[in-house]
Each structure stands twice: as structure tokens, then as C-alpha cells.
A = this chain, B = another copy of it.
Amino acid sequence: MVTDRLLDGRLKLRHLVLITAIADEGTLVRAAESLHITQPVVTRGLREVEDLLGVQLFERMPRGVAPTQYGGPFIERARSVLAELRAADEEVRLMQTGQLGTVTVGTHLAGSNLLLPRAIAALKSDHPRLTVVVREGTPDTLQQLLLSGDLDLTVGRLSPTVPVRLEQERLHHEPIRLVARAGHPVHTGTRGTSLAALLAFPWIFPVAQTALRAELEAVFFHEGLPLPADRVECTSMLTLRSLLVSTDVIAALPMFIAVDDRDVKILPTPLSSIRRSVGVTLPKDRAPSPAAAALLMHLREEGARLAALEREYATAEAAPFH
């Protein structure tokens, strides 16, 4: 395998630098100057390469040296090798500063509608060459991917069960609200909007095993109510919204998803116990890549902004004239 004459250790990168310098300067003396060494060293270095290749690279002339038939192509190769190395160096540096690279982020519904898109947008305007990969999945799938190293981080509702080797960071609270379509009878109805009254309508429930589902069930249990009899379990956000606007279904949605949608109205029904944190989850042991760190920074920024927004909404809801 190491049968190449060139790669058996005798040829050094120095030699390539030397060759290109000679080619650039046209003279051994000037090449020596440009490399801050003495001329005999250049002569010897050139000799070494030529002996190694068994070929004369430069023709010696009274006014300097000129590439031979072999020299020309070889010089070009040398240049391209050096350029490649410089590029490799540059690449590493860019990756170090997070200007180049890939960050793979997992998400599951909560946080993915506002927090993540905003953070990605901000990240991209900072570092356009950064690649962001977003993968959707259920929380436990995503945790697997995090642990196996296929994901840099996940954004979403923080789970109460803290898996070892993963750490969570809260970014903002995103309250859950019950919603129904804009023209839904409940908005004008006389039966009120108590949880019990809403049991008469069909519901969309979060699919089992999600944190939100568990919380929602806890609410019903806490109020001593049965789960709605007529319910659909749905993971697809698109399907969910379609059902929501075209039928009389009731759903529990993260507040910011509901707020953003004109065809959907939030019900005043209190769900005080459901107020869980949205944040990022990332592996505890290994440090995030620079790219991941950059995204994380923007997630924190946008998270803080959303937290401020939430406080506004909270006070607005508390006000009597709403």
C-alpha cells in the first residue's frame, strides 16, 4: 500500500512549497528570499525532489530556471495539493466558529411553530453557509437519536422524566389552551365554557405517550370528569388543523400555535395545571458542535422574546375586560 515513491516519507510538504515558490519566482535566489532561507537550501531541496521523481523539473538557465515538460504539470499538481490543504484548514476554522457545518435538530410540535423557525431564521442570517436539518418525531424517538449522536439537540416540550445523559434547558413556558374553530357554537352558546360543558363536543387528543396527553388526562382526572367519549388521536398537525376548522371539534394546542391562526379561537376555559416548559434537550456528555452552539444561542434569544410575549398575553387574559 505504501509503495508509492512519493508517499514513503521522503517527499515533504516543504518540497511542494519550495517547488511552487521557485515556479512563482523564476529564480532559486528569489525563491530563497521569499521563503526566508538561503539559496543553497533551495538548490538542494529542488535536487531532492528531482532525484525522488527521477525527472528534472526545472531547466537551469543563466538568468534563472524554467519549468521543463515534467515540471509544468507537476507544479500544477503541487499547487493544487497546497490549495487543498489550505482549504482544509479554512474549513476546519469555519466549522470551529460555527460558520460552516451542520446542526441537526429534532422537534415535536411544541416550539416548532414559532421558536424553532425564528431561531433558524436568525441563525441563517448570521451564518448562511450553515446547514440545518430538522427532524420530526415523537419525544422518545428523538431521545434515542440524541443519545446515538444523530441529533445535536431537540426542541420541544420538556419531559418530566429526565433521562440520564441528557439535559434539558427551559426556554419559555408555552401555556396550553383549548381551542375551537372561529364559528364554533361554544363561542356564542349559553352553556358556558367549563370543561364539563365541553364534554358534549368531539375532541382531538394528543397521541398517547406524549407529555401533553398525560397532562391533559390529569386535568380531567383532577376535575373528576371522564375523558371525552368522542375523540380522535392525531399526530399530524395538518390533519389536526383541518379537522379543527371544518368540524366542531375541541383541541388542546400550544398557545402560540393557536394565536397565530385566524380560523381558530381560544376558549377561556382555564387549564391552570397545564403549563409546561418548552425548551431544548441535549446530550450532557459531549459538548455541542459550534454549529449546534450557534443554533442554541439563537434558540435562547428567541425563547426569551417569546417569554416576554407570554407575559403580555397573561396580563391581557387576566384583565377583566377580556
> Contact residues of A with B, CB < 8 Å?
1-2, 4-7, 9, 11-14, 17, 34-35, 53-55, 69-70, 73-74, 77-78, 80-82, 84-89, 91-92, 95-96, 101-102, 289, 291
Contact = CB atoms under 8 A, between A and B. Distances in A.
B77 A87 contact: yes
Contact of A6 (B6, B11, B89): B89
Given A7-B17, A35-B2, A86-B4, A69 B95 contact: yes
Nearest to A76: B88
B69 A7 contact: no
Contact of A92 (B17, B53, B92, B95): B53
B13 A101 contact: no
A26 to B, nearest CB: 16
Given A55-B96, A92-B55, A77 B73 contact: no
In order of increasing CB-CB distance, the 4 nearest A-B pairs are: A77-B88, A6-B89, A81-B84, A69-B289
B6 A88 contact: yes
A91 B77 contact: yes
A4 B13 CA distance: 13
A78 B88 contact: yes
Q: Which of A4, A54, A73, A88 has most chain B Cβ within 10 Å? A: A88
Given A1-B34, A95-B70, A85 B13 contact: no
